[in-house]
Amino acid sequence: MLYSQVLATGGFVPVNAIANSYFDYLVEDADEWIRSRTGIRERRFASATESTSDLATSAAKDALQKGKIDPLSIDCIIVATSTPDMILPATACMVQKNIGAANAFAFDMNAVCSSFIYAVETADNFIRSGKYGKVLVIGADTYSKILDMQDKTSCPLFGDGAGALILGSTQEKKGILQSIVKSDGNGWELIQVPSSGSRKPITAETIAAKENTFKMAGKSVFIFATDVIPQIIGEVTAKAGIRPDQLDHIIPHQANVRIIDFISKKTGINKDRFLLNLDRYGNTAAASVGLALDENVTSGKIKPGHLVLIMGFGGGLSWGGILIQF
């Protein structure tokens, strides 16, 4: 029986910190308005010359350095993103070149803000098959590039960043123990960029109508998130044969602190067990879980033996959770 153990984590955020006051042009006293509704104080925006592959490359190099891992030993690279450098080729192939992982095959995965969870699930199955020994997963997004900066309901929520995870094969029962991934296409319209592909190609008219920017039905997404997160916690722990109160930490998708407050009350799990960084980075989409994971592994808050549940939810609709023993 093979398992996928965590060999290393990495993370990267752009240097450009954007305080809530940046959005004073949208709403009076933007800092209080945003913090009271989301818990976000600031976020990072990529520069005009920084792309998703740049952020992903930096996070990957960070993980390789921390784990003292030779890039040539990587068998597969998965970049989880919904803001690729371009529609083709895969952003993962650019990262492969940048880090010198010549022996890997590389591809992108898009499940919007669940992308990192889907990618880790895929990497785990690759390793459990016995065909691949090391897989690099990177969640990276630059939502600042696709936001409508006049939409106060969405543009203050998001930031840019990247989080990386390197998984390796082991026969010891640790690492990824259980997982679930799910989707419901009936809700695809709730989170979208309407003019961004073959359904409605980008034209001067769609740009003028801002249909090439991010759109979200916020209230419906809140209801969806507060419904599926308790399900994730219950289903994954039940499959693992443990109680939710045996989890040392939970790393949720970093979307809104109100969602976490609601889940804490609904499940009875103390909020202290939820590891958050959204106050500093906002919603970094596919990067959020990997970035928070790296911060807490690097700081030593996550220790050997700890049981950690990582969770994501997002467009598609999509959601999932993965239980990791460190």
Give 3-state DSSP helix, strand, coil % of the chain, rounded to 5: 40, 25, 35
Q: Annotated catalytic residue: which of 253, 256, 277, 296?
A: 253
Nearest CA among 283, 319, 208 for reference residue 18: 283
**Euclidean distance between CA atoms 95 and 140, whole angstroms:** 11
- In contact, 77 and 41? CB cutoff 8 Å: no
Residue type, 206: T
> What is the distance, to the nearest Å, from the Cα of residue 45 to the centroid of all Cα atoms in its chain?
16
- In contact, 244 and 230? CB cutoff 8 Å: no
Annotated catalytic, 306? no
The string of pLDDT tens digits covering residues 228-261 is: 999 999 999 999 999 999 999 999 999 999 999 9
In this prediction, residues 121-134 reach a mean pLDDT of 98
The string of pLDDT tens digits covering residues 285-323 is: 999 999 999 999 999 999 999 999 999 999 999 999 999
Annotated catalytic, 253? yes
Burial letters 201-218, b for 16+ CB under 10 A, else e: eeeeebeeeebbbbbbee
pLDDT band at 177 (very low <50, low <70, confident <90, very high): very high
Note the pLDDT of residue 34: 98
Residue type, 27: V
Annotated catalytic, 113? yes
Residue type, 211: E
The string of pLDDT tens digits covering residues 79-118 is: 999 999 999 999 999 999 999 999 999 999 999 999 999 9
* DSSP-based three-state secondary structure for 264: helix
DSSP assignment of 33-66, as one string? HHHHHH---EEE---TT--HHHHHHHHHHHHHHH
Note the pLDDT of residue 75: 98
Nearest CA among 259, 316, 258, 263 for reference residue 286: 316
In this prediction, residues 153-178 reach a mean pLDDT of 97
Q: Annotated catalytic residue: which of 93, 113, 249, 256?
A: 113
Whole-number average pLDDT of the chain: 97
What's the longest Cα–Cα distance across the chain?
A: 58
State the alpha helices, DSSP H only, in the chain.
30-38, 52-67, 91-99, 115-128, 204-208, 218-240, 257-267, 278-281, 288-299
**Euclidean distance between CA atoms 115 and 109, whole angstroms:** 6
Count of Cβ atoms closer than 10 Å to residue 51 Cβ: 20
- In contact, 3 and 11? CB cutoff 8 Å: no
Torsion of CA 271, 273, 278, 281, to 10 degrees: 160
